């Protein structure tokens, strides 16, 4: 009798367990918490997060490496100890997080006709992110970096050359992305696009401007003249400020520039660099009044802008910020006048001026240059002096390649690490040896890999670090050799 009851009990229990298993997923699924994000939300997040994070990185780190700003204290980074980032100086996780999310978007675009419209923009933005990553660090995990589901937890580092030139690399992704955008004929619109509000034609121009940028950047290693000329012949690139790939910050939260939310003590760590003072003075350029404030300790009450040599040793130097120019109100009180910059017409025309000057494309280098300078002034909403382009040293032809690089530098504040990258490529403007260098008086040529890579991806890290002299910040990029 006990055996019969026991068997019956097991039968009831089995039925109950099957029922529980059958209904478990349904009962324990929150209908208000979707398992996967919609492509529109991913696109919005990737664009916004990249612009917000890299604009902040540009202020607290990129502008130090390019010597727009000087940091007066807590400034190991400004003294070129790049392995110890402080308020900023660690773009690795920012770029990989957004590359990962962008890869999710790209994969979604290839699995559903309803999402196909996202493929071109996702390819273009992938190349944009990859370009920043490799131009900051050199060789990095790229082709295997997002294969975690396939079991790749320790991706190998790819050479910078392959990241630029291989199938699926920067140049290939940009070309494919532009083609996908141009050839899309579906009925679905691009949602979540905080750059262009779904305008695919604008994305095509953005992609072509990025192609110009990376074709020129790699031109010391690759014969890119024909491809550059084909883009110029098509005239389908960013050519007016109305077409710029930018995200507008606001004056108040939640979309104001991050420096507006930091305490005064952190903001006041940054002052005008001596390099900035000299370049703005050289060109008698009124944009210094936008980017910087007059010193507050003027003995005569005169309006004076004063820069400080980068990398002071605060422990042995007495520095009063009242003697130096703090960053302008556009970076703190009036951030609604500020943009996160992804790519602009003025940068595009500076690139075309350089390519024309080098004989790589047809066209007037002077015309491209003059247009770029005017657009850069307009971008920052500063009136260009009437004779600016007709007087020395801005009048084109004195030293054209130096003029192009310096004018681009003057306009390129807080644009991630772009000014520093372009300095490493062109050699201009000539940067100064910092005051108390922790890098043997050398200007760094790359950012070091973060220590997390040494801990989590040791074997591949060791190979890559070995290719750069033990992860040296003075090893050169592939395109700079």
Q: How far apart are CA 417 and CA 424, in angstroms?
A: 11
CB 311 within 8 A of CB 80: yes
Domains and CATH numbers, the chain: 39-254+337-480 (1.25.40.390)
Average pLDDT over residues 403-426: 97
Give residue 362's pLDDT.
97
For residue range 300-342, list pLDDT tens digits in order: 889 999 999 999 998 888 899 999 999 999 999 999 999 999 9
Phi, psi angles (nearest 5°) of residue 273: -85, 160
- 363-370 contacts at long range (C-beta below 8 A, 24 or more positions apart): 363/232, 365/396, 365/400, 366/396, 366/397, 369/396, 369/400, 369/403, 369/404, 369/407, 370/396
| Chain mean position to CA 237 | 19
371 vs 10, residue with greater confidence: 371
Q: How far apart are CA 185 and CA 300, in angstroms?
A: 66
Q: What is the mean pLDDT of the chain?
A: 92
Residue 427 contacts by C-beta under 8 Å, 6 or more apart in sequence? Answer: 405
Q: Tell whether the model's pLDDT for residue 86 goes beyond 90.
A: no
Q: Tell whether the model's pLDDT for residue 7 goes beyond 60.
A: no
Write the burial class of residue 217 (CB in 10 Å: 0-12 exposed, 13-18 middle, 19+ buried).
buried
CB 155 within 8 A of CB 144: yes
Is the whole model's pTM more than 0.85, yes or no?
yes
Give residue 17's pLDDT.
43
Phi, psi angles (nearest 5°) of residue 242: -65, -20
- Which residue has 């007059």 as its token pair? 294
Closest CA to 87 of 100, 98, 99, 71: 71
């Amino acid at each position: 009798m006990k055996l019969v009851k026991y068997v019956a009990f097991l039968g009831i229990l089995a039925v109950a367990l099957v029922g529980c298993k059958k209904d478990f997923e349904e009962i324990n699924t929150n209908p208000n918490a979707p398992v996967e994000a919609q492509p529109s939300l991913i696109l919005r997040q990737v664009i916004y997060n990249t612009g917000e994070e890299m604009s902040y990185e540009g202020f607290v780190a990129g502008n130090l490496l390019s010597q727009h700003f000087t940091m007066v204290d807590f400034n190991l980074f400004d003294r070129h100890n790049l392995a110890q980032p402080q308020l900023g100086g660690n773009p690795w996780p920012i770029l990989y997080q957004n590359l990962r999310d962008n890869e999710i978007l790209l994969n979604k675009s290839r699995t559903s006709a309803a999402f196909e419209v996202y493929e071109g923009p996702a390819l273009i933005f992938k190349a944009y992110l990859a370009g920043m990553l490799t131009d900051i660090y050199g060789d990095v995990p790229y082709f295997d970096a997002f294969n975690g589901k396939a079991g790749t937890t320790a991706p190998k580092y790819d050479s910078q050359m392959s990241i630029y030139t291989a199938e699926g690399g920067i140049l290939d992704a940009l070309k494919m992305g532009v083609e996908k955008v141009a050839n899309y004929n579906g009925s679905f619109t691009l949602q979540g696009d905080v750059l262009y509000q779904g305008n695919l034609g604008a994305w095509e121009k953005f992609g072509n401007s990025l192609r110009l940028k990376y074709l020129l950047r790699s031109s010391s290693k690759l014969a890119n003249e024909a491809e550059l000329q084909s883009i110029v012949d098509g005239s389908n690139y960013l050519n007016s400020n109305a077409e710029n790939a930018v995200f507008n910050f606001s004056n108040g939260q939640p979309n104001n520039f991050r420096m507006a939310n930091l305490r005064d003590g952190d903001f006041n760590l940054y002052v005008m660099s001596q390099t900035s003072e000299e370049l703005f003075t050289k060109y008698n350029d009124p944009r210094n009044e936008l980017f910087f404030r007059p010193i507050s300790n003027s003995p005569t009450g005169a309006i004076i802008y004063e820069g400080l040599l980068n990398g002071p040793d605060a422990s042995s130097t007495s520095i009063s910020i009242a003697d130096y120019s703090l960053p302008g109100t556009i970076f703190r009180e009036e951030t609604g006048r500020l943009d996160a910059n992804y790519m602009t017409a003025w940068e595009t025309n500076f690139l075309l001026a350089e390519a024309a000057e080098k004989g790589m494309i047809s066209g007037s280098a002077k015309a491209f240059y003059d247009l770029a300078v005017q657009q850069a002034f307009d971008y920052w909403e500063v009136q260009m002096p009437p004779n600016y382009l007709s007087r020395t040293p801005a009048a084109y032809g004195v030293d054209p390649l130096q003029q192009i690089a310096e004018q681009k530098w003057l306009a390129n504040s807080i644009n991630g690490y772009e000014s520093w990258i372009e300095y490493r490529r062109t050699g201009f403007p000539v940067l100064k040896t910092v005051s108390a260098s922790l890098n043997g008086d050398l200007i760094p040529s790359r950012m070091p890999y973060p220590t997390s890579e040494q801990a989590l991806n040791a074997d591949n890290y060791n190979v890559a670090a070995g290719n750069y002299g033990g992860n040296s910040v003075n090893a050169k990029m592939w395109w700079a050799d």
